[in-house]
Amino acid sequence: MDHVAIMRSVSCCSPITARPIEREIMIITSETKIHEVLNAYPFLEDFMVARNLRYKNLKNPLMRETIGRIASLGKVAGIGGENVAELVEDIRKEIERHGREGFSAFAGKKFVDPIKQNRLKEIIQALHRGEDLGKLKEQFAALSQGVTATEIADLEQSLMDEGMPEKEVRRLCDLHVAVFEDSLGTTPVPDMPPGHPVHTFMLENRETEKIIAQLTALIRECGEPQQLVKIESVIGQFQQHLTNLEKVNVHYTRKENQLFPLLEKHGVTAPSKVMWSIHDDIRGLVKQAKRQLADRQHAEMIATLKDVLSQIGLMIYKEEHILFPMSLDVLDDEDWHVVRQGEAAIGYAWIEPPPEMPAGRPKTSTQVAEGLLEMETGRMSLEMINLMLTNLPVDISLVDENDKVVYYSDSPDRSFPRSPAVIGRSVQNCHPPDSVENVNRILDAFRKGEKRTAEFWISFGGKFIHIRYFALFDRQSRYRGCLEVTQDVTEIRALEGEKRLLDWQ
């Protein structure tokens, strides 16, 4: 429905005056409460139940007046096991079929109202041109409705999709929040049950705030300007709190590797691009403050600390008023279970591992594309597996539980020669006679679980070779073999200083 159609739909004629009067637009979004929708369009009750028997409780007046007042269409779609975008679109079509006007649908990724969308975009573009923040806030306040977290995220997504550089969006991200802060302040922060990733993130935020308060109090104790003697007397406390603050990296890493990928699958890429960049700035500032403290650069350290504590505090606000509400709107229960399942691999900051997520398990697809092998952390074809193993910067040999060689990677620059004839051969026969006793000792220790690794390094052919053996055990703790990894580390040993990704030519 374009904006012309929407404008036309809100105008009708009074039977008495024959003059146009304005009918209030009802904007239905994934956040709209089902109680509001059914009150405005009672015929939708039968429509909803007919399309999905899981909605039969909508006919219960008590449920309508209680749960219905707090359940959004997004939550209703979750109960019905269907896509919220499709549900909102079908509601739109049903309303149109009944000849009712004044409706605009939004399913979580596009603006509900083109007029409002364009007005918000004009405000942001004016902000980027450097116009007065106070006046822009007044213009925003003049809009008929506040802005939601999802709309802010979608606004920035739209600007980036239209070609605005990510660095420019990121540079003025805080000003975007400042423009809309009054509207965001009225939105309650998410209240999810223990075990839900958002609940876990917010527990960590509360711990972060404690550390911010401790460091802020310590800075205040040192006076303005900072008293060198006072800082020296509390230097141990600064070190302790800074080391503790560094754990915020775990919080950010979980966002980057668990939450952002799921949002990106739904087409929401702006938060990951903008926030990840800010995460890296915060990480760098914490390290800088630690270096300055170690070098007794107290005034510089205090300035850096004030900067990073401010940035972390703003990030908490953006998470709880924009990122998390928007994520709850976009992601479904299955997505959240996927986020939850991978958390332990990254870990948690300051808190104990949370309980499992309530309300069931994620759906898992039993269909795998033809030619792909299903593994614990991905799907690959045999061709891709072979390409990966033969292009690793290491040589790999695999020995099974019977000490037979079952595989080796045929990389072009192997440190030691291998040929197909080795497959099926006893590993003991692949070593000089003088080494066999030690090979057996290592394998026996692996089998008994006494050792899990063994490593050696030698000079060979003008190279420095690092050789490692890893015992392999299955989920039942049964010994399944040994992995040999050989690597030429001559050039690695000679590395000095730093070369970052951004330095690549």
CA distance linking residue 156 with residue 374, whole number of Å: 36
Q: Which CATH superfamily is domain 3-106 in?
A: SP0561-like (1.10.3910.10)
Reported as a pLDDT band with limits 50, 70 and 90, residue 15 is: very low
pLDDT above 80 for 20: no
Q: Name which of 263-272, 273-282, 284-293, 306-315 the model is least confident about.
A: 263-272
Reported as a single tens digit per residue, the pLDDT across 222-246 is: 866 656 668 888 899 999 999 999 9
Q: Is the pLDDT of residue 6 over 80?
A: no
Choose among 249, 25, 283: nearest CA to 145: 25
Q: How far apart are CA 375 and CA 195, in angstroms?
A: 26
Q: What is the pLDDT of residues 101-133, one digit of tens each?
A: 444 443 333 334 555 556 666 776 776 677 776
Q: What average pLDDT does range 163-189 have in this prediction?
A: 60
Please state which CATH number belongs to domain 197-346: 1.20.120.520
Looking at per-residue pLDDT, the higher value among 6 and 459 belongs to 459
Q: pLDDT (tens digit, 9 = 90+) per residue, 51-70?
A: 888 888 887 776 766 676 77
Q: What is the pLDDT of residues 431-449, one digit of tens each?
A: 778 888 999 999 999 999 9
CB atoms within 10 A of CB 28: 22
Encoded tokens for 214: 């401790």
| HEC secondary structure over 431-448 | CCHHHHHHHHHHHHHHHH
Is residue 150 within 8 Å of residue 325, measured between CB atoms?
yes
Instruction: Compute the C-alpha angle 72/78/81, nearest 5°.
Output: 145
Least confident segment among 220-229, 307-316, 396-405: 220-229
The residue with greater pLDDT, 500 or 24, is 500
pLDDT of 131: 78
Question: Residue 17 pLDDT more than 60?
Answer: no
If you average pLDDT over residues 302-323, what whole number do you get?
91
Average pLDDT (443-463) is 92
pLDDT the model gives residue 180: 56
User: Who wins on pLDDT, 20 or 450?
Assistant: 450
List helix spans (H) across 52-83. Answer: 61-65, 67-70, 73-80
Give the range among 42-56, 230-244, 266-280, 368-382 with minimum mean pLDDT: 368-382
Report the mean per-residue pLDDT for the chain: 79
pLDDT higher than threshold 80 for residue 302 = yes
Q: What is the pLDDT of residue 299?
A: 87
**Arithmetic mean of pLDDT, 285-300:** 93
Which two structure tokens, joined as six digits, stand for 396? 């790999």
- Residue environment code for 221-240, b if the CB has 16+ CB neighbours within 10 A, otherwise e: ebeeebeeeebeeeeeebee
58 to 93, 267, 359: CA distances (angstroms)? 20, 32, 21
Alpha carbon distances (Å) from 492 to 129, 375, 456, 488, 503? 48, 31, 16, 8, 18
Instruction: Find the angle CA(146)-CA(163)-CA(181) to the nearest 5 degrees.
Output: 20
Give the confidence band of 471 by pLDDT, cuts at 50, 70, 90: very high
* DSSP codes joined into one string, 341-366: HTHHHH--SSSPPPPPPSS-------
User: What pLDDT was estimated at residue 34?
Assistant: 87
Per-residue confidence (pLDDT) for residue 445, from 0 to 100? 94
CA–CA separation, 204 vs 464, rounded Å?
A: 44
Predicted structure pTM score: 0.56
Is 181's pLDDT higher than 70?
no
Per-residue pLDDT tens over the stretch 346-372:
999 999 999 998 764 444 444 455 678
d(CA 398, CA 482): 6
Mean pLDDT for 131-146 is: 64
Contact 74, 30 (CB under 8 A): yes
Q: Work out the pLDDT band at 72, boundaries 50, 70, 90.
A: confident
CB atoms within 10 A of CB 157: 20
Average pLDDT for residues 3-10, to the nearest whole number?
28
* Per-residue pLDDT at 245: 97
pLDDT at 475 over 80: yes
User: What average pLDDT does the segment 82-107 reach?
Assistant: 69
Can you give the pLDDT at residue 273?
A: 81
Rounded mean pLDDT, 85-111: 62
Q: Give the type of residue at 398.
A: L
Whole-number pLDDT of residue 307: 93
Cβ-based neighbour number of residue 344 at 10 Å: 10
Query: What is the domain partition of the chain in residue ranges?
Result: 3-106, 114-185, 197-346, 380-493
Lowest mean pLDDT segment, chosen from 14-18, 127-131, 165-169, 466-470: 14-18
Domain 380-493 -> CATH class: alpha beta
Say what the pLDDT of residue 377 is: 77
